[in-house]
Amino acid sequence: MVTIKSKKEIELMKEACKVVALTYQELEKRIKPGMTTWELDQIAEKTMRSLGAIPAEKGYNIGIKGVPPYPATLCVSINDEVIHGIPSKNKVIREGDIVSIDTVALKNGFNGDAARTFIVGKASKEAERLVQVTKQAFFEGIKFAKPGYRIGDVSHRIGEYVHSQGYSVVREFQGHGIGREMHEDPGIPNYGKAGRGIRLEAGMTLAIEPMVIQGKPNILQLDDGWTIITEDGSLAAHYENTILITEKEPEILTIL
């Protein structure tokens, strides 16, 4: 069931989303070659808690036997890691890496969710282009995030744009509704046919998140039960924001 948020709920949700935006602002200032992904995670958790929020991903349980609850504040995925990379004291960020970070803050009973891919130091032109296309795919998709359009219109435009640039989208994972729960209806794939799915209405809050692969779309899951990598070893990038459907243009809640 898709929830329509009240004005009061939207105001509360904006606070959670602002925490996420401020956390990324701090991470962007601090990320550099030589850091571990664990250090990034500590910065993010400290920032969130100082702003009165809880790291919602920490302890998140997907309910699959044998998969432990997620142990960290951030998902930090480097180069061919697509999503859900677990921070570690042993994983060092190097010059030229592209680092995808996904995080969720919980404040006042509501969640804010966003992802960014950072280029650390000087990366290849190919890596830079992948990151730019992934970000632009989000903005292409939300051109259709207005009342009267359908979820499929957003999904179709994301996939159409990404494929036009010579890249692939991840099919096994998708965006989602968000609010009191981290993952709510509807699911929002990054591909599909236009004109399908539920019709968008003002008051819906959605996390739209293109996950883009430089090579073929095939993915693998590592033995930790969380980390997703590209099967062919090609680079991947991730860009996400929580948005609010309004009577006019969508409002991006996780950008300051």
pLDDT digits (tens, 9 = 90+) for 52-111: 999 999 999 988 888 999 999 999 999 999 999 999 999 999 999 999 999 999 999 999
H/E stretch holding 42 reads helix 37-50
Distance CA 189, CA 191 (A): 5
Q: If DSSP states are collapsed to H, E and C, what string results for 10-28?
A: HHHHHHHHHHHHHHHHHHH
Burial class (CB in 10 A: 0-12, 13-18, 19+), 133: buried
pTM: 0.97
CATH 3.40.470.10 for the 7-252 domain, yes or no: no
Tell me the C-alpha distance between 101 and 39, whole Å: 13
Give the domain ranges of the chain: 7-252
Q: List pLDDT tens digits, range 115-162.
A: 999 999 999 999 999 999 999 999 999 999 999 999 999 999 999 999
Beta bridge partners of 215: none
CA dist., res. 118 & res. 87, Å (int): 15
Cβ–Cβ under 8 Å, residues 208 and 243? yes
Q: Rounded CA gap, 150 and 38, in Å?
A: 39
